[in-house]
């Protein structure tokens, strides 16, 4: 069986080395084998709470053991055990809007999706609704959508995202902040007494808006951390069906979309009401982060930790598309997990280990709301204030070798210094996200944001569409094609073409960057204008 065959290959690679440069030990074959195994149908898409996810965790832990990493998880293992709960909403669920004597029942998936819900979100009597702009309170920008708005025991309706800005000191201009995250909006609404929140995407502002893509993502179970059970209803509504919410209100939905584009959003009460009677199938289960420690070589600095992370989960087995029900997640994120394993293998072979300790962390539940990274930062296995940085790996260069890199989140911290130094030594440039992708909220969309919100300087390093053998237009076209046709579908599988020379280049760059941070005389710090600096100061003050 392919699983056992690779264990023999990995063991062979682990012993065949001498004094050669550690870069020479990085193996395309090793990366390829991990991708082909983790992305195979045998691992069933590595779904959280599914058999394939459990099988993947065992596979990863076995390799940590082969590489000699220290067990630092629960019960002297490589596993951090995470209690989770899942709800599968059924089509029989009833979301109803009321206007005077009129009612309108919406259809689950076609008209709306549920991103946060459960049996506790039952709303039997119609509740009043309030439009609250973007649903944001940001004191550092002197911004408050809830000014003079009482939403207690009401349903809050908000726009997706955050205010457009050309000012780098106001919502960070072209880079989305944590306030645009749906989880941030729902927590704020809940803290102000709201019973539910409806988020409406603005197709006029989002170049990549496609309701079918949103619908596809929410055909899976809603999974949450067991201790995060919430009594608030969370809905993302199809913009084509959202006009009814604004009927006979001070402004129409089209007015609101125009306000959004013009930067003149207003909050106001709505004339409609809402009730919700959800039907669900629920279960409780345990999922695992897979964690291994490579101790640092310096007697003082080994008590400081660098977290190198990648999420190993994908969507697992789900609704068939063209007869295929396995969502393999080869690019997202078997490739990133393979990169982490290869980096771990090579660094573990070095005669002179890095000065700081490295916590190699393969995370679960990323696809369901960054659950593994959130759990880790709530219950860290090493103190957060001693954790100098998080380097997250989500995806791997696969189209072509590249001339430039993008540091997602580099503007927030001095990790940009290490990125520029590593790029320079490799003859590469550091560039910004292409303008066409600026609305993608990249920093908020993977596990690095969970570590950042806990105060740990974090970064995700991707190749730029500045390729050696492709034009920028060709590179961007491939990225867009992946996002529109492949991402979160069963077609992110081993039939995709992967340029392993590009993957090797990316892994070598990440390895050098990780070693540079681990060996640095100074530690990364948040920049003064970073929205995460207070969390860092708090963790240091509390020695958490």
Domain final residue, candidates 278, 298, 323: 278
179 vs 200: CA distance, rounded Å: 15
Q: How far apart are CA 352 and CA 108, in angstroms?
A: 57
pLDDT higher than 90, residue 11: no
pLDDT beyond 70 at 430: yes
Please state, in angstroms and rounded to a whole number, the distance separating the CA atoms of residues 359 and 381.
9
Read off the tokens for 243. 């006009």
Which domain CATH number covers 153?
Answer: 3.50.30.30
pLDDT in tens, 275-302: 999 888 889 999 999 999 999 999 999 9
> Based on the domain organization, do 236 and 309 belong to the same domain?
no
* Same-domain check for residues 241 and 262: yes
Please give the share of the chain, as a percent, with pLDDT higher than 70. Answer: 93
pLDDT at position 157 is 98
Residues 436-463 have a mean pLDDT of 86
Task: Kindly report, residue by residue over 76-114, the tens digit of the pLDDT.
Answer: 999 999 999 998 888 999 999 998 888 999 999 999 999
Mean pLDDT of the chain: 91
Helices (H), 177-321: 182-191, 211-217, 253-262
Closest to 527 (Cα-Cα) out of 459, 464, 463: 459
Contact 166, 263 (CB under 8 A): no
What's the pLDDT at 441?
61
Give the residue among 164, 76, 126, 52 at the shortest CA–CA distance from 439.
164
Residue 172: DSSP 8-state: T
CA angle at residue 103 from 98 to 107, to 5 degrees? 105
**C-alpha distance across the termini of the chain, in Å:** 45
Contact (CB, 8 A) for 331 and 497? no
Do residues 309 and 411 both lie within one domain?
yes
Token pair listed for 508: 């070598």
Closest CA to 524 of 389, 394, 399, 391: 389
Question: Which of 323, 358, 308, 422 lies closest to 68, judged by CA?
Answer: 358
Question: 81 and 96, same structural domain?
Answer: no
Secondary-structure percent of the chain, ordered helix, strand, coil, rounded to 5: 40, 25, 35
Helix (H) or strand (E) holding 506: helix 500-519
Per-residue HEC secondary structure of 39-60 comes to: CCHHHHHHECCCHHHHHHHHHH
pTM above 0.75, yes or no: yes
**Which among 357, 362, 356, 395 has a CA at the least distance from the CA of 487?**
395
The pLDDT of residue 442 is above 90: no
Residue 379 pLDDT > 70: yes
Indicate whether 440 pLDDT > 90.
no
Whether 12 shows a pLDDT value over 90: the answer reads no
Interatomic CA distance for residues 341 and 288, integer angstroms: 17
Name beta bridge partners: 198: 157, 235
Res. 481: pLDDT tops 50: yes
Query: Do 81 and 105 fall within a single domain?
Result: no
Tens digit of each residue's pLDDT (9 = 90 or more) over 15-40: 444 334 778 899 999 999 999 999 99
The last residue of one of the domains, among 278, 295, 312, is 278
Query: Cis bond leading into 333, ω under 30°?
Result: yes
Helix (H, G, I), strand (E, B) or coil at 417: helix
**228 and 310, same domain (yes or no):** no
Same domain, 232 and 335: no
Query: Residue 493's pLDDT is what?
Result: 98
Position 171 scores a pLDDT of 85
- If you ran DSSP here, which 8-state letter would residue 107 be given? P
Per-residue pLDDT, 14: 45
Residue % of the chain over a pLDDT of 90: 76
Which pLDDT tens digit goes with each residue over 345-362?
999 999 999 999 999 999
pLDDT score, position 123: 92
Determine the pLDDT at residue 17.
42
Q: How many structural domains compose the chain? A: 2
pLDDT in tens, 392-418: 999 999 999 999 999 999 999 999 999
Based on the fold, state whether residues 98 and 232 are members of the same structural domain. yes
- Coil, strand or helix at 7: helix
- Reported as type and span, the H/E element at residue 535 is helix 533-542
Contact 336, 498 (CB under 8 A): no
Q: Which DSSP letter does residue 111 get?
A: T
**Same structural domain, 163 and 228:** yes
- The reply to whether 514 and 491 lie within a common domain is yes
Position 121 pLDDT exceeds 90: no
> Which residues, including other chains, have CB under 8 Å from residue 108's CB and lie 6 or more apart?
89, 90, 91, 93, 95, 114
Question: What pLDDT was estimated at residue 404?
Answer: 97
Mean pLDDT is lowest, of 139-143, 153-157, 168-172, 408-412, for: 168-172
* CA 186 to chain CA mean position, Å: 17
pLDDT-derived band at 166, boundaries 50, 70, 90: confident
In sequence order, which ranges of 320-414 are alpha helices (DSSP H)?
335-349, 371-378
State how far the alpha carbon of 515 is from the alpha carbons of 188, 382, 407, 472, 524, in Å: 39, 19, 17, 30, 13
Angle at 231 between CA 456 and CA 188, to 5 degrees: 45
Quote the strand ranges of 132-213, DSSP E.
137-138, 143-144, 155-159, 196-200
Predicted pLDDT at 263: 85
Helix (H, G, I), strand (E, B) or coil at 542: helix
- Cα 148 versus chain centre, distance: 34
Read off the CATH number of the domain in which 461 is found: 3.40.630.10
**pLDDT digits over 257-278, tens only?**
999 988 889 999 999 999 999 8
Same domain, 347 and 440: yes
Name the token pair of 501.
Answer: 């020379």
Q: What's the rounded Cα separation, in Å, for the pair 389 and 457?
A: 5
Adjacent-strand bridge partners of 392: 309, 460
**Looking at 301-385, which runs of residues are DSSP E strands?**
305-311, 316-321, 324-327, 357-363
Q: Residue 504: CA atoms inside 13 Å, Cβ hemisphere, count?
A: 13
**Same structural domain, 208 and 225:** yes
Taken as a whole, the chain contains a residue count of: 544
Per the structure, the complete domain to which residue 264 belongs is given by: 91-278
**Residue that finishes a domain, picked among 278, 302, 320:** 278
Region 113-122: what's the mean pLDDT? 76
């Amino acid at each position: 069986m392919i699983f056992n065959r690779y264990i023999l290959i990995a063991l062979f690679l682990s012993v065949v080395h001498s004094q050669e440069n550690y870069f020479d030990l990085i193996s395309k074959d090793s990366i390829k084998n991990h991708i082909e195994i983790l992305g195979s149908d045998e691992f069933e898409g590595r779904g959280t709470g599914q058999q394939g996810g459990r099988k993947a965790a065992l596979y990863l832990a076995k390799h940590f053991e082969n590489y000699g990493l220290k067990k630092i998880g629960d019960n002297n293992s490589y596993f951090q055990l995470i209690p989770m709960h899942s709800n599968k909403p059924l089509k029989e669920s009833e979301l109803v809007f009321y206007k005077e004597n009129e009612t309108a029942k919406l259809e689950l998936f076609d008209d709306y999706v549920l991103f946060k819900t459960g049996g506790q979100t039952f709303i039997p009597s119609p509740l009043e609704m309030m439009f609250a702009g973007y649903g944001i309170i940001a004191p550092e920008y002197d911004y408050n959508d809830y000014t003079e708005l009482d939403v207690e025991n009401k349903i809050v309706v908000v726009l997706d995202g955050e205010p457009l800005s050309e000012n780098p000191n106001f919502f960070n201009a072209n880079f989305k902040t944590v306030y645009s995250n749906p989880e941030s909006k729902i927590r704020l609404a809940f803290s102000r007494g709201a019973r539910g929140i409806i988020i409406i995407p603005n197709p006029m502002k989002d170049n990549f808006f496609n309701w079918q893509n949103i619908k596809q993502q929410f055909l899976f179970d809603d999974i949450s951390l067991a201790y995060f059970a919430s009594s608030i209803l969370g809905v993302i509504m199809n913009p084509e069906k959202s006009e009814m919410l604004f009927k006979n209100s001070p402004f129409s939905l089209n007015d609101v979309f125009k306000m959004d584009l013009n930067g003149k959003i207003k909050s106001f009460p709505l004339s409609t009401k809402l009730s919700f009677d959800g039907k669900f199938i629920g279960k409780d289960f345990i999922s695992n982060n897979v964690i291994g420690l490579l101790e640092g070589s310096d007697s003082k600095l080994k008590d400081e930790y660098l977290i190198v992370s990648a999420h190993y989960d994908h969507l697992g087995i789900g609704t068939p598309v063209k007869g295929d029900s396995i969502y393999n997640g080869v690019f997202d994120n078997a490739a990133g997990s393979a990169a982490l394993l290869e980096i771990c293998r090579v660094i573990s072979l070095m005669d002179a280990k890095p000065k700081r300790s490295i916590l190699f962390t393969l995370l679960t539940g990323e696809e369901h709301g960054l659950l593994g990274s959130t759990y880790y930062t709530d219950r860290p296995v090493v103190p957060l204030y001693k954790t100098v940085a998080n380097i997250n790996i989500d995806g791997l260069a696969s189209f072509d070798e590249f001339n430039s890199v993008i540091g997602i989140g580099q503007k927030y911290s001095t990790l940009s210094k290490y990125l520029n130094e590593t790029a320079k030594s490799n003859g590469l440039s550091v560039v910004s996200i292409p303008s066409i992708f600026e609305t993608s909220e990249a920093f908020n969309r993977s596990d690095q944001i969970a570590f950042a919100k806990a105060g740990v300087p974090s970064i995700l390093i991707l190749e730029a569409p500045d390729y050696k053998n492709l034009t920028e237009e060709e590179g961007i076209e491939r990225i867009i094609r992946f996002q529109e046709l492949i991402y979160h579908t069963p077609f992110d599988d081993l039939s995709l073409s992967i340029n392993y020379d590009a993957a090797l280049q990316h892994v070598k760059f990440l390895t050098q960057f990780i070693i540079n941070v681990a060996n640095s005389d100074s530690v990364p710090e948040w920049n003064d204008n970073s929205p995460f600096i207070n969390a860092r100061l708090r963790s240091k003050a509390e020695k958490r």
